[in-house]
């Protein structure tokens, strides 16, 4: 057989016009070197798709069921969406192990989760003490508002609902969004800058998506501040244990334990009548914002004590390609 000419050899290695055109068209959305979507899409799609799934779930459940069946069904649905979000995001969109989001779920993880929950409980207890001490709130009862359920089962349902919703927010805003934005920017800019931009961007989106609770633009500051605190805990640990623990117990103790929630309708271990100015003790008031800052400082203190240092954890920008995981 005669040897192939240079033209014939080049035709097998040089992309055709069609291949080059397709490559240019998909470049903005597809990273061919890694075999996965580009970082901005990996960051945004888990939040968008799961948010739509949750909205559809709530509309169906709330249209067909009433209290007390509605709440457990919603909690179960949130749990199903949460699990689907984690695995679809990790396996289909990110092509990474689930654990790289910061979900090791080992003994160390649960210990950090408990610390985050304890810090959240302490700062909400402090907020209640200040509100009562200055006359902005009055304790009017104990173990009230359970509705048709006994008090303890009602509290268990509320905690399950709140914990699953908080875990979903932490996974999509910190585990998926912040991590992918930081990973995508790491290299073109220094790591500290990449992580800083990712923290700010994910916190802004987090605040914006809480707009349903906001009556004045200034109240977005409360959610932006909370997003920065939660993002900081994630960036310094590369792990979701502290953010999820803090977030879940903050929401639960604020409303169901200390009666400080306004938009939530939950049973309350300590029933409270809020009479102070909304600017200070509204759900996004200055007092709550100040205690969120205290919570952030306590988280930093714990991490400095536990780790002996404070710095960006390398896991925040880590991605393990499939071929490396298989070897």
pLDDT at position 159 is 96
Task: Give the mean model confidence (pLDDT) for residues 291-304.
Answer: 97
Where does the pLDDT of residue 283 fall: very low under 50, low under 70, confident under 90, or very high at 90 and above?
confident
Tell me which of 97-111, 238-252, 311-325 is least confident: 311-325
CB-based contact 149:157 (threshold 8 Å): yes
Confidence of residue 279 (pLDDT cuts 50, 70, 90): confident
Phi, psi torsion values for 272, nearest 5 degrees: -130, 140
* Per-residue confidence (pLDDT) for residue 327, from 0 to 100: 41
Residues 200 and 189: their CA atoms lie apart, in Å, by: 15
Listed in sequence order, the residues at least 6 apart from 259 whose beta carbon sits closer than 8 Å to its beta carbon are 128, 139, 268, 269, 270, 271, 272
Q: In angstroms, rounded to a whole number, what is the distance separating the alpha carbons of residues 191 and 35? A: 23
Rounded mean pLDDT of 33-55? Answer: 92
For residues 294-302, give the mean pLDDT.
Answer: 97
- Judge contact between 3 and 136, C-beta under 8 A: no
Instruction: Tell me the C-alpha distance between 321 and 57, whole Å.
Output: 34
> Nearest CA to 99 among 84, 114, 86, 116?
86
The span from the CA of 101 to the CA of 238, in Å, is 8
pLDDT, tens only, 89-136:
998 999 899 999 999 999 999 999 999 999 999 999 999 999 999 999
Helices (H) and strands (E) in the chain, counts: 13, 4
Instruction: Give the model's pLDDT for residue 142.
Output: 93
Q: In whole numbers, what is the pLDDT of the chain averaged over residues?
A: 88
| 223 Rama class: left (phi>0) / alpha (psi -120 to 50) / beta | alpha
Percent of the chain with pLDDT over 70: 90
The arithmetic mean of pLDDT across residues 311-315, rounded, is: 94
Give the per-residue pLDDT at 284: 81
Task: Give pLDDT tens digits for 129-151.
Answer: 999 999 999 999 999 887 888 99
pLDDT at 23: 64
Bridge partner list, 268: 144
- For residue range 160-206, list pLDDT tens digits in order: 999 999 999 999 999 999 999 999 999 889 999 999 999 999 999 99
pLDDT above 90: residue 211: no
């Amino acid at each position: 057989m005669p040897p192939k000419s240079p033209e014939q050899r080049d035709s097998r290695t040089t992309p055709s016009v069609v291949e080059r055109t397709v490559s240019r068209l998909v470049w903005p959305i597809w990273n061919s070197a890694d075999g996965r979507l580009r970082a901005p899409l990996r960051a945004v799609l888990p939040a968008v798709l799961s948010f739509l799934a949750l909205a559809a779930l709530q509309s169906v459940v709330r249209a067909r069921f009433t209290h007390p069946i509605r709440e457990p069904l919603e909690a179960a649905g949130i749990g199903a969406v949460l699990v689907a979000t984690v695995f679809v995001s990790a396996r289909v969109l990110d092509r990474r192990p689930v654990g790289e989001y910061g979900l090791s779920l080992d003994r160390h993880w649960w210990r950090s989760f408990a610390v985050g929950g304890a810090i959240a409980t302490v700062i909400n207890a402090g907020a209640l003490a200040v509100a009562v001490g200055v006359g902005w709130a009055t304790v009017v009862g104990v173990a009230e508002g359970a509705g048709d359920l006994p008090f303890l089962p009602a509290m268990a349902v509320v905690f399950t609902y709140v914990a699953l919703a908080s875990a979903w927010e932490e996974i999509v805003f910190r585990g998926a969004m912040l991590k992918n934005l930081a990973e995508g920017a790491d290299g073109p800019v220094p790591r500290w800058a990449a992580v800083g931009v990712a923290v700010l961007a994910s916190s802004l989106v987090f605040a914006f998506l809480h707009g349903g609770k906001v009556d004045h633009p200034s109240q977005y500051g409360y959610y932006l501040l909370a997003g920065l605190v939660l993002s900081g805990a994630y960036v310094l640990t590369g792990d979701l244990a502290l953010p999820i623990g803090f977030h879940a117990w903050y929401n639960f103790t604020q409303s169901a334990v200390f009666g400080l929630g306004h938009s939530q309708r939950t049973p309350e271990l300590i029933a409270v009548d809020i009479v102070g100015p909304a600017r200070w003790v509204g759900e996004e008031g200055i007092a709550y914002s100040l205690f969120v800052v205290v919570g952030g400082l306590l988280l930093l203190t714990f991490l400095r004590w536990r780790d002996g240092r404070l710095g960006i954890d390398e896991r925040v920008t880590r991605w393990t390609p499939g071929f490396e995981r298989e070897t």
